[in-house]
Chain A
Amino acid sequence: MEFPGLYNYWITIVLMMVGFYIVIAHDNLIKKVVGLNIFQVSVFVFYISMAKVQGGTAPILDAGIETYSNPLPHVLILTAIVVAVATTALALALVVRIRNAYGTIEDDEIEGQEDDA
């Protein structure tokens, strides 16, 4: 097995695990949202790296070019990025509301208040 052939997947996995770690290990809600974003970007990189063809160019038709990278994952991810921003906005709005209701954005402190109540 030649190592470089799978390099792109491994980068994806490392990024994904960093995001995953932030989400599960940190109590701060904004930090969790950032972690989710890193996770998302790792999935985007995964798709885009699958679309790459050796020796290909960007999928913009022009005379004299034979090999193009696969345009379909690009379309998918274009949509996904925009949806990601929408979900991020919603998550941040929730954070603001939680801050208004509890006076904190730390997960453990919120749990503490829940237990007291």
Chain B
Amino acid sequence: MAVTALALVRLRNLFAVVMLAGVFSLLAAVLYVVLDAVDVAFTEAAVGAGITTVLMLGTLALTTSDEKAAPRKTLAPLLLVVATGAVLIYGTMDMPRYGDPNAPIHSHVAPYYLTRTGPDTGLPNVVTAVLASYRGYDTLGEVAVIFTAAVGVLILIGRSRRPKKKRKPADKKEAAQ
């Protein structure tokens, strides 16, 4: 997975970049299965690897598929990235160990959901039960987010059919909210 990501940095042809991004997503989905998150893996494979790739390809069709020259200012970003990474790794020293059943994350509300889901909802899949039953309002909010994004995309792309005109920064600000 890390190798795919590094290849993404080097590649100049955007078509290959988009395809590799899809591969990256699929690898992430495999990783989720290994980590017991089967629902997340389904979503990642369908949405992350599928829809995102299609969206990116659509954008490539509407724009261009070649990146210009190599980035000239490579040293400063590299230093910044390495420094940030070092700080973050230092920060992990106090984190709970991988797979530790006594980690704080497993000791508050998680057992409640695991024990109550069966009697409360009758669903075997805890993830689905929490998503659709206990936290149904959040999922409604998620739908609202997607709707807003869809409206934003339609405003942005729909208007581009008009005759060419001077750029309108106001449009972009509206959509960004």
Contacts and interface: CB of A to CB of B under 8 A. Distances in A.
Contact of B59 (A15, A21, A96): A96
B98 A79 contact: no
A49 B110 contact: no
Given A38-B8, A41-B25, A27 B98 contact: no
Interface residues of B, number: 94
B9 interface: yes
A96 B127 CA distance: 36
What bracket does the count of chain A residues touching chain B fall in?
35 or more
A73 B113 CA distance: 12
Given A25-B71, A78-B40, A90-B153, 13 more contacts: A16-B85, A17-B84, A18-B2, A25-B77, A28-B67, A41-B48, A44-B44, A48-B37, A55-B99, A59-B126, A68-B114, A78-B127, A97-B171
Interface of B: 1-2, 5-6, 8-9, 14, 17-18, 21, 24-25, 28, 31-32, 35-40, 43-44, 47-48, 51-52, 55-56, 58-60, 62-64, 67-68, 71, 73-74, 77-78, 80-82, 84-85, 88-89, 92-93, 95-101, 103, 105-106, 109-110, 113-114, 117-118, 124-127, 130-131, 135, 138-139, 142, 145-146, 148-150, 152-153, 156-157, 160, 164, 167-168, 171-172, 175-176
